Each structure stands twice: as C-alpha cells, then as structure tokens.
Structure 1
Amino acid sequence: MAEFRRIVLCADDYGLSPGVNRAIRDLLTRGRINATSVMMVTPAIDRAEADALASIKSQEPNIAIGLHVTLTAPFRPLTADYAPLRDGALLSIGQTLGAAMLRRLRSALIAAEIRAQIEKFTATFGAPPDYLDGHQHVQIFPQVRDAFLEVVSRDLPKAWVRQCGRVTPVTSRLSDRKGLLLDILSAGFRTRAARLGVRTNPAFAGSYDFHADPNFAVLFPRFLDGLPADSVVMCHPGFVDDMLKRLDPLTDLREREYAFFSAETFPKIMAANRVTLA
C-alpha cells in the first residue's frame, strides 16, 4: 500500500475580510488546512485579526503562515512612490500581467513594495513569514518574479516560495488555458529560484475556473492525483460579508469551499487519496 504524502493545503487571502478570516481560522483550528497566506495591504488585517491567527499558530506550530504579496487592484501599495497606479490603486491583474510581459514595470519599485509588505508582516506577527506567494499568482509574472526572488534570496533565505506548475498530463493541461499559463510562467520562475538557491514547492494544484459552476467535491480529488509530497494545494474558503463583496469577485464559491473542507467527508477523501496534512 502506498505511503501517505504530506501536502500543504493553503487558504489564500487572510486579511481580505472578516468573513474570510473567520472561515480560515476555523479550518486551521479543526486541522482541515495547514497554511494560510496573509495579505498586508487589505482592511481586515488589523491587530485583532492578526493576533487571532497568531494565537492558533502558537498552539499548532506546524501551521505555516505566509505572506500573500499583493500587487494588483483594488488595493493600494504601502510604498509612497510605487508606480504604475490608476486613481491611486494598483493596476488590475490583466493590466499588471500585460505590463510585465512588455517589461514596462520598474523592478526597483516592485522590490521596495515587496520589502514593505514583508516588514509589515514581520512587525505584525513578530516573526518573518514561513513562505511567500502572490495574490492572483503575481509572483510568477515576468519582471515581478525577478524582484520577488531577489528580495527573498537576500532578506529571507530560510523561507520557501510558491511556484504554480502542475504535474498533470500534457493532454489535460491543454484543455485548461489558465493552468497552462501558470505552467509556462512557473517554468521560468523555478529556473530563477534554483539559480538563487530559493526553495520552491515541487508541484501545485487548486486552480480552476472561478466563473463556472464547479462541483468542488469532484474537483478536489483531481487536485490530489499524482501530487508528490510537499506540494501546495491552493484554496479560498470564506464567509461572504459586505467587505468581501466590495473588494473581490470571488464570493459564493468561498462558502462552497468552506462547506467542503468542514464536512465530515473531507478527511475520508484525503485518506482515500493517501494524503495527509500532518
């Protein structure tokens, strides 16, 4: 019988809204997830919300808390001279990716903003992040990845970073345009990370079409298929509240994901796929 593989099941977007924070803390406390990525430029990462998360980690040291580097709208940067902006806010994901592909971003400004978010995280939690990734996968974009990895290699050499390349067969990749783009961008990211001696996860899963009407109970076992140990599976559980509605288009699907992870069938699915969080 195959041995159990330990994975990192990471809930993104802690700090986005009180409802998202509450759902993530509940799943961490119940052992249904073992990592969360924290946004430091969002309105729901005040002292109380940060302390509540830190308290859980103090009781469960194996939980990983990472920095969710945020460089896209509708949020505002921490650094005063960051550019480009639109009406004082960061560009949309499409605009950011387009500018990155055309190499129109300024690496020094990106690096300064990433350092500011790291510094705020460290001041808030009293320790540097265990790992770093990016909101909307921005860390693997051209230009951004260079600044991101340079900062991590110099400032946080013990941290690991998230790459978003999968282990699915090529035939499956071609039917998933979003996943294929992540695979392509992650190839360069992994190469650069290896050159700088920055650790990455061996594989990634959890991406799906947020605009469709997915059955998460069907999707999730597919994410686990063939994953090597220490791979990252991304998720976005949360409770919908007014702040979330104002800031992010991903709303009801968060509650569906929360319901899946909190259900009694979830541990059985993990066991059936020989996967563990311990």
Structure 2
Amino acid sequence: MPFPVNVFANADDFGYSASVNKAILFCFENEYINSATLLTNTPGFEEAVQITRDNQCVKNIGIHINLAEGKPLTNLGEAFLNADGCFSLQKTGKASGFFTKAEKLALVKEISAQINKGLSQGIAITHIDSHYHLHTLPGLFNLFLHAAGQFKLKMRLAQTYREGSYLKFWYRQYINSRITARKLNYSDRFESVNHFLSRGLFYNGEQKTEVMLHPDFDPAGTLTDHFDAETMVSWLNYLKQLHKG
C-alpha cells in the first residue's frame, strides 16, 4: 500500500517493547510506514536490532534519543534523574530549562552514547529525533544540533505548522532554519498525521514531509497508535484512499 515518495511515515519508539516492535515490523511489511527511530536504552532494543537485520523492508532507521524515561547509558549524575536512577522528564523536559556547562557536557556524552550504541550494531543509521521532542527545547537544541553534525546524521525538524502560540511558531521556525542552513534536515516539513491530512495532501511537489506514528498492538491484537489511537485509524484510512485512487 505505497504512499507518495516525498513522505516519510516514521514510527517512533522502535525498541520500546515487544508489542511495539511487532507492530512496527507489521507496518513496514504492509507499507504503512517507511522509516523508524530506535530507542537504545529500553527493553526491546536488542529485539528491534535483530528485526532490522532480518527484514529488508525495515529501512531508514534513526535513533530516537531518550532523555525522558528509562536509565541513561552513561554516568549522568543526579541532576536529570529521579530516585530510581531513571530519567525525570520534569527535569529534562522543562521548556525554559538552561543547564550549566558541566550538565551540558554530561548530556552531550549521553546523547553520543545512545547514537554510538545504535551505530555499533552495524545498522545504517540515517537520522535522529527525540522522545517527547526534547531536541526542540531551548536548553537542549544546540546539543542535538551539534550531535547531528558530529555524526553526520539528519535531524527531525520541529513542527512546521502554526498551532496556537505565535511565539512558539516563530521559535520553531528559527530552530528549523538553523537545521536546514546546515543541510541536516531529514525532511522539509514535520507534521502530525492529522495536520497532514487536514491539508488534503496527496502529493506536494518536491517537498518532503515527515509524519509521526507510534505503532503498537492493543490487548485485542488491533493495530493502534499508543499515543493517540485515532491517529492510526486516520492514517490507514488515508492509505486506503490512496490505494483506491
């Protein structure tokens, strides 16, 4: 069920769990997606790597850098962790968070470790993004931009459509201009499935658009999006319409 060649349908959270891995493979096999990003500090990482090695349809694999949950790969220190030694999203995900030089160095080391863990598996890594879009935050953006340049990887843009605050939209335009100026952008646009579909987009010239999904199987065995179930329903309906056309 192919879709326009200028669309990257990316599955986030590859490696999160066995059910997510199974769902992402299913989506690749059925051409519901053509890209995915891999978590390297979660229980399903090794299985996701093996799935990638064993299945030629699994392609365009990136690293889904995770500073939001689970344990870090490096000795990050307590500044970003909870009492259990896992990432605290409250500490890393503050929109206005700015960090000391030592904290930035620790975060750079962790980001690099997660990328290197993916690269060490012999997988052709193409791009990076982040769990909960932390790479777009003011205190973290430059660290991710540096990592993308250092490892010569493409990077997910911030959302490219206006939603609510004009200030947020301006900020996202600004950081996206910095990504594209270095030719590190993975696409020309980054949109939610719902916004992508709201524009009635079947083909958009030469612009490349990335849309994001979170495939999983629910307890009944139905393919879903574990972040927003309606997203998967809408995406599959869109693909059916394309196939009929």
Structure having the higher helix fraction is 1
Structure 1, unpaired ranges of 5+: 209-218, 242-249
Whether contact under 8 Å (2:65, 2:111) holds in the other structure is yes
Aligned partners of 1:114 and 1:224: how far apart in 2? 37
Q: Does 1:49 align with 2:51?
A: no
Residue 76 (structure 2) aligns with: 81
Q: CA deviation at 1:109?
A: 1.2
Q: CA deviation at 1:271?
A: 5.6
Structure-2 separation of matches of 1:252 and 1:111 = 28
Structure 1 position 238 matched with structure 2 position 216: yes
Deviation of the 1:187 alpha carbon: 2.5
Q: Does 1:111 align with 2:89?
A: no
Offset of 1:102 from its aligned partner?
Answer: 3.6
Aligned length: 231
Distance 1:142 1:128, change over 3 A: farther
Identity %: 22
Would you say 1:121 and 2:112 are equivalent positions? Answer: no
The match for 1:215 is none
Conservation of the 8 A alpha-carbon contact between 1:193 and 1:200: no
The Cα shift of 1:53 comes to 2.4
Letter in 2 for 1:77: P
Q: Note closer, same or farther for the CA distance 1:95–1:68 as it changes in structure 2 (3 Å cut).
A: same
* CA shift in 2, pair 1:164/1:102, >3 Å: closer
Contact (CA 8 Å) 2:160, 2:173: kept in 1 or not? no
The normalised TM-score by structure 2 is: 0.80
Q: What pairs up with 1:151-230 in 2 under 5 angstroms?
A: 151-154=147-150, 156-157=151-152, 159-167=153-161, 173-174=163-164, 183-206=169-192, 221-222=197-198, 225=201, 229-230=207-208
Post-superposition offset of 1:29: 0.9
Unaligned runs of 5+ in 2: 220-224
- SS state at 2:67 partner: coil
Question: 2: CA distance between counterparts of 1:193 and 1:203?
Answer: 12
Give the corresponding residue for 2:68.
72
> What's the counterpart of residue 16 of structure 2?
16
1:14–1:38 contact (8 Å) kept in structure 2: yes
Cα distance in 2 between the residues matched to 1:52 and 1:133: 20
Q: Distance in 1 between matches of 2:199 and 2:216?
A: 20
Q: Could you say if the C-alpha distance between residues 118 and 29 of structure 1 is closer, same or farther in structure 2, counting changes exceeding 3 Å?
A: same
CA RMSD of aligned residues (A): 3.0
Change (3 A) 1:266 1:234: same
Q: Which residue of structure 1 lines up, in the alignment, with residue 240 of structure 2? A: 268
Other structure's SS at 2:120 match: helix
Cα gap change, 1:224/1:128 in structure 2, threshold over 3 Å: closer, same or farther? farther
Aligned to 1:38: 38
1:88-99 → structure 2 map (5 Å cutoff): 88-92=85-89, 94-98=90-94
